[in-house]
Every structure is written in C-alpha cells, then in structure tokens.
Amino acid sequence: MKSRLFNLLKWKIWTLVAGVIVSAGMAENAMASVADMSTLTVGFALSGCPFACTSQYGYGFGSGGQYYVPGSMSPNVLSNGQPIVNLSTYTNQVQDYVNITIGGFSSNPGQGWLVSVSVNSHTLQGGTASYTYSAGRAYWTWTPSVSLGATSSQQTVVITHN
C-alpha cells in the first residue's frame, strides 16, 4: 500500500513538472523574436527650398509618402516576406525624426510587433516610438532623429520583430 501511494505521488509530481516544462517552452516559443539583417545604402533628398527646406536621408518613401529617398535596402524584405517600405530621417526647421515603415500586414500588428531597429550604432526600441497603422502598413516614428550615416555609405540594419 505504501509503495502504491509513493508511486502515485511520484507520478503526480512528474506530471506537474513535465507540464510546467512544456508550458514554459510554449511560452518561450510564442514570444520568440526574429532579427533580420539588411544593408542600407543611404540616399539623400532635398526639397522645398528655399522657403521650407526638407532633407531626408535613408531609403524609401519618407515623410508619410510625400517624398522619395533614393537609397536602397538589401534585402528590402523581412524573413517573413513583409516589405521594408521606408527607413529614413526627416529634418526641417520644425521636425526632426526617424521613421520605419513595414508593409504587408493584413491587420494591425500593434506597436509591440517591432522590438527594435539598430543602425549606425544606434538602437531604437519599438515601444518608445509613436505608432500608427493604415492600409496594411505600420509606421514607427522616433523623435529626435539619429544619424543613419553619410550619403552613399553602407550601414548594417538589424530589424528585430515578433
């Protein structure tokens, strides 16, 4: 009788421990982030002069899609197939910020989808950005701006996301 009770207790403890291990593994996998690496060739665009000069460095359609910055990203698609639409800085007499736009979403991924963007020794946390979503595109913006590097320079960019 004692042996049977001991075996039953041992089985219950093993089941409890195994369940905790499996649950911890599932939670870890559910929150695993992916780090995608690209090379940014920094482009430059200047517009609006002489009255309201706007300068942008980086790649893609910056400033809400109003201006195109003729840099490049390689690859310009994340490992999950989503396009990197824009990574640029925007500077004029009023505003100074960094923007990244990721496309290809079927619904709003939320601000927490982007963990961080690292470029030119700067890391920008997704949670500290202002965030908007519209028509399949998610926009993260940080103020003030940080340097993406000199025009035509090549920078390693790491985009970490969920």
What is the per-residue pLDDT for 112? 97
SS3 readout for the chain: CHHHHHHHHHHHHHHHHHHHHHHHHHHHHHCCCEEEEEEEECEEEEECCCCCCEEEEEEEEEHHHCEEECCEEECCECCCCCEEEEEEEEECCCCEEEEEEECCCCCCCCHHHEEEEEECCEEEEHHHCEEEEECCEEEEEECCCCCCCCCCCEEEEEEEEC
Confidence check: pLDDT of 37 > 80:
yes
What is the per-residue pLDDT for 23? 36
User: Can you name the residues that pair with 62 across neighbouring β-strands?
Assistant: 67
Model pTM? 0.75
- Range name among 24-28, 35-39, 46-50, 92-96 with the lowest pLDDT average: 24-28
Confidence category of residue 28, pLDDT binned at 50, 70, 90 = very low
How far is CA 38 from its chain centroid?
12
C-alpha distances out from residue 130 to 76, 99, 143, 155, Å: 23, 10, 9, 24
What is the per-residue pLDDT for 145? 76
The pair phi, psi for residue 93, each rounded to 5°, is -70, -15
Confidence category of residue 77, pLDDT binned at 50, 70, 90 = very high
Confidence check: pLDDT of 29 > 80:
no
What is the per-residue pLDDT for 157? 95
Confidence category of residue 26, pLDDT binned at 50, 70, 90 = very low
What is the per-residue pLDDT for 65? 54
Confidence check: pLDDT of 24 > 80:
no
Most confident of 13-17, 24-28, 48-52, 99-103: 99-103
Identify which of 38, 35, 128, 151 has the alpha carbon closest to the alpha carbon of residue 86.
38
